[in-house]
């Protein structure tokens, strides 16, 4: 469709929905009565090109904004702080969208579709990988859910647990008041400004800026000046991790609450048995060939090893005990011995599972993948630790409270109750240790994650005198510890994870990342694969892993 025809149809839709005959769209500009109207919320912005996100919801959103929002009042009440202004603009747009005519369900469907597509674009752009970006994203999600009654975006729902817990004491009451005030723009604006200012105060990192160049992102908005002209572009973006200042040395504020548990001690025996039966059913229904995988792993890890001597060879070292045979039978040539050689696995493997909250949506796939891999490694005679890492509480727990009581000193280091889990130790036979893997099906094991310390711990459990050490980390993304990130900066845990992986690889440990779902681990791991859990766990999942293990590389 020609651009001018598309523009005309969009303008007609805006006029029909808003009831304003003078409304029109000119490129990405909205006009009413010949006057430009600024609509800054990023999820309703239309570009001059064909919009990559379905435009119908944006057009309906623009129409509702024209119908229900007083531009002068909005501009007068908008906070000056850039973070607060960013949220204020989005919250006003969500307000007008919540006022859509219920007799026109197609509009509500368009708005919901637009919100989901925009949210996933934000997530895919990496904004939710930083704690500050995730906090802003979560604020938008919970406010919209409160206003409209819709559930938050399903694909990112598990990411919201930690930030939602962090936000609740600061903005919970204000969020609860949004829906009741949505028909009164001035009252609603006061609540929206409060939410924006409180969230801004929670952020230690300046992730909102006014870049002079660069492309707009899914989180870019354009703030209008007092005369209605666009005067400032504000973007929210994850902090860059390259070409920045040297990361601060990693530290831990307190280890008083750190724990390492055998996971079977954290789950009631009857419940663990139920989980084990459920996992056994999944293994059978998957059709995965464990013994075939074990043979492949044995071939992959086996290495020649000399042991003793074998006799009866026609070449090698003379065996004095057989010389008498040469006298009795001069044709005999099997008088030599050679060093005995076998080819058995000379290695140690660790499987480390990220037990942070966002992994809960992948419980079945992760437990199946790890269980089959662990069983196959046992059959392949490869001694294997199967471990997990999480925290004992959300949002810092007692460690955070201790820091606050100490006056909140700057750069405190890690602020959480680190919890390491032993699912199956390497020296425990599979028949006995397999029960612990079923704990991966227990949702409340999953909280937050401090990945770097877990990689250090899992690597240290592998003896240095084995021929080969391989650590397989199963995760869906970046480290997530809200309290630590807020106190030290959003890249603090990321930087430590990268440094830890590099250090372990220099020490001879091969560290491999297995990304679950949309998790992309290449930002941290020099070698990684991604498992698409939408297609299920199949033998191809393990072939990809084995191919990566087969390309040995240690820094």
536 and 432 co-located in one domain: yes
pLDDT in tens, the chain (555 residues): 444 455 666 667 767 776 666 667 666 667 676 666 777 788 877 653 444 445 777 788 788 888 788 888 988 999 988 888 889 999 998 998 998 888 788 888 888 988 988 888 887 777 776 677 788 899 999 999 999 888 898 888 877 877 888 888 899 899 999 999 999 999 999 999 999 999 988 874 434 444 444 444 445 544 554 444 444 544 554 443 333 445 568 999 999 999 999 999 999 999 999 999 999 999 999 999 999 999 999 888 886 554 555 565 555 555 566 655 655 665 655 656 555 545 556 799 999 999 998 888 889 999 999 999 999 999 999 999 999 999 999 888 999 999 999 999 999 999 999 999 999 999 999 999 999 999 999 998 999 999 999 999 999 999 988 889 999 999 988 888 888 988 898 889 999 999 999 999 999 999 999 998 755 688 889 899 888 777 788 898 899 899 989 876 544
Q: Are residues 538 and 396 in the same domain?
A: yes
Burial class (CB in 10 A: 0-12, 13-18, 19+), 422: buried
According to the model, what pLDDT value does residue 378 have? 93
**By residue range, what is the domain housing residue 147?**
3-236
Q: What pLDDT, on a 0 to 100 scale, did the predictor assign at position 83? A: 84
**pLDDT for residue 65:** 80
Predicted local confidence at residue 210, as pLDDT:
41
Question: How high is the pLDDT of residue 215?
Answer: 45
Q: Which helix (H) or strand (E) holds 77?
A: helix 71-77
**Cβ neighbour number for residue 231 with a 10 Å cutoff:** 12
Q: Are 159 and 268 members of one domain?
A: no
- pLDDT given at position 530: 86
Q: Give the per-residue pLDDT at 310.
A: 59
User: Do 45 and 29 meet the contact criterion of CB atoms below 8 Å apart?
Assistant: no
114 and 90 within one domain: yes
| Last residue in a domain, options 325, 344, 363 | 344
Structural domain includes residue 251: no
Give the whole-angstrom CA distance, residue 504 versus residue 494. 16
Residues 537 and 420 in one domain: yes
Note whether 53 and 87 are same-domain residues: yes
User: Does residue 253 lie in a domain region?
Assistant: no
Secondary structure of 113-154 in HEC code, one letter for each residue: HHHHHHHHHHHHCCHHHCHHHHHHHHHHHHHHHHHHCCCCCH
Report the predicted TM-score, pTM, of the whole model to 2 decimal places.
0.57
- Same domain (yes/no): 278, 293: yes
Which residue, of 344, 371, 402, is where some domain finishes? 344
Note whether 205 and 239 are within 8 A (CB).
Answer: yes
Note whether 519 and 474 are within 8 A (CB): no
Domain count, the chain: 3
What stretch of H or E contains 299? helix 290-301
Q: State the pLDDT at residue 1.
A: 46
pLDDT at 42: 82
């Amino acid at each position: 469709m020609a651009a001018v025809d598309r523009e005309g149809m969009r303008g007609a839709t805006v006029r029909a929905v808003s009831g304003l005959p003078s409304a029109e769209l000119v490129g990405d500009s909205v006009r009413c009565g010949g006057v430009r109207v600024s609509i800054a919320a990023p999820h309703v912005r239309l570009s001059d090109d064909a919009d990559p996100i379905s435009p119908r919801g944006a057009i309906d959103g623009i129409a509702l904004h024209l119908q229900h929002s007083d531009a002068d009042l909005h501009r007068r009440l908008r906070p000056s702080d850039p973070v607060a202004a960013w949220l204020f603009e989005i919250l006003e747009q969500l307000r007008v969208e919540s006022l859509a005519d219920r007799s026109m369900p197609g509009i509500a469907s368009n708005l919901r579709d637009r919100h989901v597509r925009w949210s996933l674009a934000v997530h895919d752009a990496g904004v939710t990988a930083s704690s500050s970006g995730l906090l802003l994203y979560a604020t938008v999600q919970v406010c919209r859910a409160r206003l409209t009654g819709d559930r938050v975006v399903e694909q990112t729902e598990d990411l919201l647990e930690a930030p939602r817990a962090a936000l609740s004491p600061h903005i919970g009451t204000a969020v609860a008041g949004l829906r009741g005030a949505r028909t009164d723009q001035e009252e609603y604006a006061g609540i929206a400004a409060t939410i924006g200012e409180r969230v801004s105060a929670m952020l230690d990192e300046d992730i909102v800026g006014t870049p002079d160049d660069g492309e707009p992102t899914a989180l870019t908005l354009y703030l209008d000046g007092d005369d209605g002209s666009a005067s400032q572009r504000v973007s929210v973006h994850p902090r860059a991790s390259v070409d920045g200042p040297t990361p601060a040395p990693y530290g831990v504020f307190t280890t008083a609450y750190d724990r390492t548990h055998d996971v079977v001690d954290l789950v009631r025996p009857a419940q663990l048995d139920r989980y084990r039966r459920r996992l056994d059913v999944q293994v059978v229904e998957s059709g995965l060939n464990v013994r075939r995988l074990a043979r492949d792993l044995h071939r992959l890890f086996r290495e020649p090893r000399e042991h003793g001597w074998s006799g009866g060879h026609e070449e090698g070292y003379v065996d004095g005990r057989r010389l008498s045979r040469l006298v009795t039978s001069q044709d005999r040539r099997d008088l030599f011995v050679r060093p005995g050689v076998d080819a058995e696995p000379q290695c140690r493997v660790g499987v480390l599972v990220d037990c942070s909250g966002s992994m809960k949506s992948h419980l079945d796939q992760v437990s199946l993948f790890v269980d089959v891999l662990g069983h196959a490694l046992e059959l392949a005679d490869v001694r294997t630790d199967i471990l997990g890492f999480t925290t004992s509480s959300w949002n810092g727990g007692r460690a955070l409270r201790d820091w606050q009581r100490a006056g909140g000193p700057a750069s405190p280091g890690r602020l959480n109750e680190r919890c390491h889990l032993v699912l199956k130790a390497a020296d425990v036979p599979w028949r006995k240790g397999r029960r612990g893997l079923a704990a991966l099906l227990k949702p409340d094991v999953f909280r937050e994650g401090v990945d770097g310390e877990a990689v250090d711990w899992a690597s240290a459990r592998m003896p240095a005198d084995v021929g080969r050490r391989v650590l397989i980390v199963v995760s869906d993304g970046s480290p997530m510890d809200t309290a630590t990130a807020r106190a030290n900066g959003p890249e603090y845990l990321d930087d430590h994870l990268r440094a830890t992986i590099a250090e372990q690889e220099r020490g001879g440990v091969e560290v491999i990342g297995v990304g679950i779902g949309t998790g992309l681990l290449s930002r941290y791991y020099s070698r990684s694969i991604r498992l698409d859990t939408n297609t299920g766990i199949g033998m191809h999942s393990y072939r990809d892993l084995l191919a990566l293990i087969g390309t040995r590389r240690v820094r």
